[in-house]
Chain A
Amino acid sequence: MKRLLIFMTVVFVLLLGTLVPLGSNRARAASPSSAASEVKIDNFSFTPATVTVPAGTTVTWTNSDDVPHTVVSDDKIFKSKVLDTDEKFSYTFTKPGTYPYFCSVHPKMTAKIVVH
């Protein structure tokens, strides 16, 4: 019985050992979504046009265009000041939902953030 307990403990520890790297692998696999919390503004468009992030993520927009743009939620939940070239705007999404937004200077520019 004692031997069995020891065996089970060994198996459990081994399992844990395999689980932990599995878990960290999973975290690494999930890392692109946290990297996607960066949105680039270039050539009069937001890239990526749709970003899906877990609640609590801070999304940062960077204007790489040589004209000014803004980041304004359709529902006015968030609204940046005008961003000149290389200027940034960040917003932290705490509640799940879909957040369509646009550039209020060039309203043809539209995109969305999906928070789950």
Chain B
Amino acid sequence: MSDYIIHDHNDDGIDRRGFLKCMAWAGTGAFCVLQGGVLKSFALGQLDHARAGSLKGELSFVQISDSHIGFNKPANPDVIGTLQAAIAKINALPTPPAFVLHTGDLSHLSKPEEFDALEQNLKSLKTGRVFYVPGEHDVLNDDGKQYRERFGKGTLGEGWYSFDQKGVHFIGLVNVVNLKAGGLGNLGQDQLEWLEKDVKRLKSSTPIVVFAHIPLWAVYPEWGWGTDDGAHALSYLKRFGSVTVLNGHIHQTMQKVEGNVTFHTAMSTAFPQSQPGTAPSAGPMKVPAEQLRSLLGITDVDYVRGKHSLAITDSPLAI
């Protein structure tokens, strides 16, 4: 049973049913493909079938997020163990990813030994390299100086940068530094100006992937799950036919499609958080030990040239 879109009243490539299915990903695993503005979703069990079809991409990469090395509370006393399970999952993918994106909160307390442990463990990844952006837990006490020395060499400002792979333009943004009282995530004027210049030279047909720690869209501002100047950043990307925004921070999968922009958040490799508004506050959610690995996982992304499509697959560490 596939879930092709039946009702697409707004012509935005997604119907309510499909949207709800995507919202219900956490812990189940689903596979969404955006092709020509049409979103198709498959249950994880259909993945082999889907992959066997026209979905083989020229560029495949994986997003991991929120490893929180150093966290040792009851929600997950073994964050190294679950990170290693995520690495094993990546190494077992049928198509080896070209690289891995880590969307922040590498560490829990920005401690050198936490960064060491993350770096050492990620060395066992069978992939080209790892690209990082910092989370708020990586810039504690020093505004990210240590993070940039270790993981942000050659980056600009607080750690932002861009690069190109197989015709796709990747942009890593930092929205966790210089946060203002009462506010949300923040990119700041310098970074916005850089972004505007960075994309100016690109053709509108260039697929864009933006990755940053805190969601660039307002997932749930009451819990700080959004970025104050996120919309400003996205205004520079309006002319592009395909924009994919990958975030972490909220430790659960969520997806929203708005015009040509697909917003997606990844699971954590460390601990889950409650769905927005279902708990007194954000924070580690304690679940029965046997459920934990079904709420942690990785995100696999495939790009098919010429099809304007990025296929995003979330896979929990265990089902």
A binds B: yes
Chain A binding surface SS class = loop
Q: Does A26 sit within 8 A of B, measured CB to CB?
A: no
B2-10, B17-25, B275-283, B299-307 - the one binding chain A = B275-283
Question: Contact: B140 with A45, CB < 8 Å?
Answer: no
In-complex Cβ contact of A74 among B136, B140, B181 (8 A): B181
Taking the closest CB of chain A, its distance from the CB of B278, in whole angstroms, is: 14
A44-B282, A74-B181 known; A66-B224 Cβ under 8 A: no
Q: Is the CB of B181 within 8 A of A45?
A: no
Q: Give the distance in Å from the alpha carbon of A82 to the alpha carbon of B144 in the complex.
A: 13
A107:B179 contact, CB within 8 angstroms: yes
> A45-B281, A82-B109, A108-B223 known; A66 and B75 CB under 8 Å?
yes
Residues of A within 8 A of B141 (CB): 81-82
Chain B binding surface, main DSSP class:
loop
A100 touches B109 (CB 8 A): no
Given contacts A67-B284, A102-B182, contact A44 B140 (CB under 8 A): no
Please count how many residues in chain A sit with their CB below 8 Å of the partner chain's CB atoms. Answer: 22
Closest to A75 in B: B181
Query: For the complex, what is the distance from the CA of A63 to the CA of B182, rounded to whole Å?
Result: 19
Q: Mark B283-319, 1 if CB is under 8 A from A, else 0.
A: 1100000000000000000000000000000000000
Kindly report which residue of chain A lies nearest to residue B135, judged by CB atoms: A105
Judge whether A68 and B75 touch: CB under 8 Å: no
Q: How far apart are the CA atoms of A85 and B180 in the complex, in Å?
A: 23
Q: What CA separation (Å) do A86 and B281 show in the bound complex?
A: 18
Q: How far is the CB of A51 from chain B (nearest CB, A)?
A: 17
